[in-house]
Amino acid sequence: MYEVAGGHSPQKLVGEFFEKLNAGECDMVLLAGGEAMANIKVASKNKVQLDWREEVAGQLDDRGVFDGSHLITRMEFELNLMQPVQFYGLMEQARRGEKGLGADGYNQQMANCFSKLSRVAADNPYAMNTKSYEAEELITVTDNNKMVCSPYPKNLIAKDGVNQGAALLLTTVGKAKELGIAEEKWTYLHGYANTKDRVILKREKIGRSRALEFALKGGLEAAGKTSADIDHFDIYSCFPIVVAEACDVMGIEENDPRSLTQTGGLAYFGGPGNNYTMHGIASLVETLRKDPGSFGMASGNGGWMSKHSVGVYSTAAPEGGWASCDSSMLQMVLDKIPEVEVEHSPHGEAVLEAYIINYVKGNPFNSVIIGRLKGSNRRFYATSPFLDSDTLQQTLKGDCLGQTIFVEADPKGNRYAYSEPRLLEFSPKKVEEFQDSYEFCKVARNGHILTVTINRPETRNALHPPANQELENVFNAFEKDKDLWVAILTGEGDASFSAGNDLKYMALGGEVWVPKTGFAGITSRTDRTKPIIAAVNGVALGGGLEIAMAADIIVAVEHAHFGLPEVKVGLFAGAGGVQRLTRQIGRKKAVEMIITGEPITPQEALDAGLINYVVPADQLMKKAEAIALKITEASPMAVSSSLQLLNESSRFASEDDAVTFSHTVFDNLLNSDDFFEGSMAFAQKRKPRWIGK
């Protein structure tokens, strides 16, 4: 069996299989785990391909990497908040604020705690780092101890460059006797607890995990013990906050003589990705054998204090025998704690709750903060603008917790500053004028018609952030230009209209963001008032179909194909594909396309009502232009009003509600020159002379 990822997993498995042993489902269990990150790093540096494939005979229960718990949200992904050190840094700073401590005082507490751990590692032959550190060495920044992410220098965080493994053998008393295992080697699990927390922004306090509290108290209660009864600890120690919070929960003072680690902790013994707790339990068992009858606790932590497992052990058998443990009630109580509401697009005045400084080679690069809006009390993430050194420096001073800040939503990452003028200084300027030339598209105008061609044929016209931004600017200018009444959007070449998101660009580490108006500047443009014709010159898959569906009319060549294949690569059509396809064609066919990822032909698309026309390749632009000319023969104000009413009424599920809701669309048309020109031309039996206002 392969267990899911998480530092809590070894202890969780111990509890799970003790239940199975007690139920008679098995009589022996071997738990084993290891990490070879040191070898992987060396191999990568030397460009050596490692082949560690193996064929596992017999039954295999692969539980996958994730257990369904949310660790990363879209907001964090967009801000490149992906590393444990960043999340723990935010929680650490929030805890400092909650404790009312200055940066120097809090750093000293972290160092004092981890200095003690390093002394244990110094005496452990299995530790990756056997140096005993004084507290000042851990927090003094040097060339060998550079800042990684505030408040952490390198020597205060878990190390993953290890080759380490551990194993535990679980069995019953009867089987142990049968095998002749000496009784002085027996160690019993007396009780355990497992809990999960919600994502960071939704927790009561950023610097506190209630799930950790419930797991520690639940494990002790299951064993019938208090923290005072525990003689030996191995508390998960990837970052100082986990140890400090555990001590707070259990009332362990800084001068308590009991060691908090049996190995030396993840920063000095070593921090395997998911298996450290198995080392902790194995080491705890060795300690308990040397101190018969004493009690020990091992704790495991996964994610960002997100998943917790705690076990209480002793060489003394449990009084009354094994008692089954059930953490479901603990989790039920946890889940009922009110969660903080989150704001994805914050704007206005707020309070800074937590922050980190990201460093590159020891130099401050940018800051990321968690704030709370004063008006709604909702939480959000924000970052300092790339060129705003003043905001970065003010945050770097470390006395910003609790300060008033100003925040503004931005597709590249919500931005904050300590004054509103400073924030507005770095607000992106909306581009509403056409440029002389473009890098990723071609733009041509002919009378009242604008033709836009996505010009990235080398990527099948896939779009990356710079291309999306460029197209947003183009359609901004199109909307503003009163002489342009209709646009045609197509792709360069005859192979692909657009392949949607440029996944290769993203995989190579390119920035990941989408402008407010969406793919190609139109999939999220909710205030659009001018018609767009999609001239689909080839394949329109994924984001390509989403772009086409955002248009008002679709003309396609005979060799085109349409589909949303995202599910085949572990994604979903998140740029409007799911919502639009189910509204533009029959629901059953739409759902089939969405959940199978299978494409349809132009004829199938035509029959389903997804597109308007299918034409030979050499007739594509002629047909699109003919439709555009037809549109320009109508009043641009009337066309605009029609689209405006369609957009405003589309939010209603009921046709009656859509027809009868109160709106002001006709008011705008009634006060336009086109309204009177139409009436006059009809009365005078002449062709109208539309001016679009």
Q: Known catalytic residues? A: 546, 566
Contact 381, 75 (CB under 8 A): yes
Give the SS3 label for residue 535: strand
How far is residue 150 from each of residues 75, 109, 155, 159, measured CA to CA in Å? 20, 15, 12, 16
How far is residue 293 from each of residues 188, 282, 296, 299, 318, measured CA to CA in Å? 11, 17, 10, 20, 11
Name residue 541's beta-bridge partners: 563
Q: Where are the alpha helices (DSSP H) in 237-362?
A: 240-250, 276-290, 328-336
* Residues counted in the chain: 693
Contact 690, 636 (CB under 8 A): yes
Residue 650 has phi, psi (to 5 degrees) of: -70, -15
Per-residue buried b or exposed e for 304-326, using 16+ beta carbons within 10 Å of the residue's own CB: bbbbbbbbbbbbeeeeeebeebe
Sort strands 553-557 and 613-615 into parallel, antiparallel or unpaired: parallel
Compute how many other C-beta atoms are within 10 angstroms of the C-beta atom of residue 339.
14
Q: Which of 450, 453, 455, 454 minimizes the C-alpha distance to 479?
A: 450
Q: Whole-angstrom Cα distance, residue 155 to residue 172?
A: 42
Q: Whole-angstrom Cα distance, residue 426 to residue 436?
A: 25
- Cis status of the peptide bond prior to 10, with omega within 30 of 0: no
